[in-house]
Amino acid sequence: MFERLADFLVYDLAQLDATSQMGAALHFFLMDTAKIFVLLGVIIYFMGLLRALLSAEKVRAYVRDKPRWLARTLAISLGAVTPFCSCSSVPLFIGFVEAGIPLGVTFSFLIASPMINEVAVVLLAGILGWKIALLYVLAGVIVAYVGGALMELFKPERWVEDYVWKIRVGQTQLPQPDTSLRGRHRFALGEVKEIVGRIWLWVFIGIGVGALFHGYVPEAWVVEHLGGQDNWLAVPVAVLLGIPLYSNATGVIPIAEAMLGKGVALGTTLAFMMSIAALSLPEMLILRKVIRWQALALYVGILAIAFMLVGWGFNLL
């Protein structure tokens, strides 16, 4: 449906040549814009109906007093389906610490929450197929589990800001949504407005970059510099490129689509997506409010190495 709409607008109405750079770029932009925003609205609404039942306090209650392996697994699972973004990371971090949840488990949650996003996973599956979506989720779960465990080995409690240990959970001002059917409907609509309102610009930017990449970057150049699975340097370059960019897993999907379409290796593309989702500079600046530079540097280093290993591993496979 979305492809036919783009065909009509670009090739029939605008009379652009399908083999031209402008035609290819505009077709990509219009098709992905329609597809992504329709899917965003539908997915966020239905997930909002479920999310209204899951408050941050319930997340902490599920994880508290569980064996370490189970607590980490639950934290990652809850991080993948909860609506918490970077703006919520500070009160959530404080709440987890106040509840006595080990910091290694908390870091696993913080890694999984922005990176494994159910909206992005469904979009990824719809655009690139379920195989790539499942590979992305599998890699994200492994990184979150191992990354949190490694953080724990370095005893990061010494690098948590002092005020975090003193604050009470009641001061974190976490939302308590109405769980009635009408309340869940209002919450779901609010989620659509809030999330789309927060990310629409980055989605447009992602689609625009993907369209330019798709239409104007020669495939031969991409294959030579980023494409080959034996190009080991392409993976760390992709991770480094992702750090200064600000987007989320949803906004980077169109770029990943264009990269894969031009022949960029799957592992390189996944490493780029993960770096943007979990290591973007704004995310790090927000996290710096609750942990000191030593912990932040360790966090960035562990994730960067993990993303490179994921990229190299999938390229080899």
Q: What are the C-alpha distances in Å from 19 to residues 47, 78, 213, 226?
A: 39, 45, 15, 23
Look at residue 20 in the predicted model and tell me its pLDDT. Answer: 83
Q: What are the C-alpha distances in Å from 44 to residues 50, 57, 92, 192, 198?
A: 10, 21, 21, 6, 13
Parent domain of 150: 2-316
Number of domains, the chain: 1
**Does the pLDDT of residue 130 top 60, yes or no?**
yes
Look at residue 28 in the predicted model and tell me its pLDDT. Answer: 79
pLDDT tens digits, 75-122? 888 777 665 555 555 666 677 776 677 888 889 988 887 788 677 777
In the predicted model, what is the mean pLDDT of the chain?
A: 78
Is 72 exposed, middle or buried (CB count within 10 Å of its CB: 0-12, 13-18, 19+)?
buried
Tokens of 62: 């599920």
Q: Return the minimum-mean-pLDDT range out of 13-22, 49-58, 99-108.
A: 49-58
Q: Are 147 and 308 in contact (CB under 8 A)?
A: no
pLDDT tens digits, 140-171? 899 999 999 999 999 888 888 887 777 644 44
Rounded CA gap, 6 and 215, in Å? 15
The pTM of the full predicted model, rounded to 2 decimals, is 0.69
Tokens of 226: 């980023």
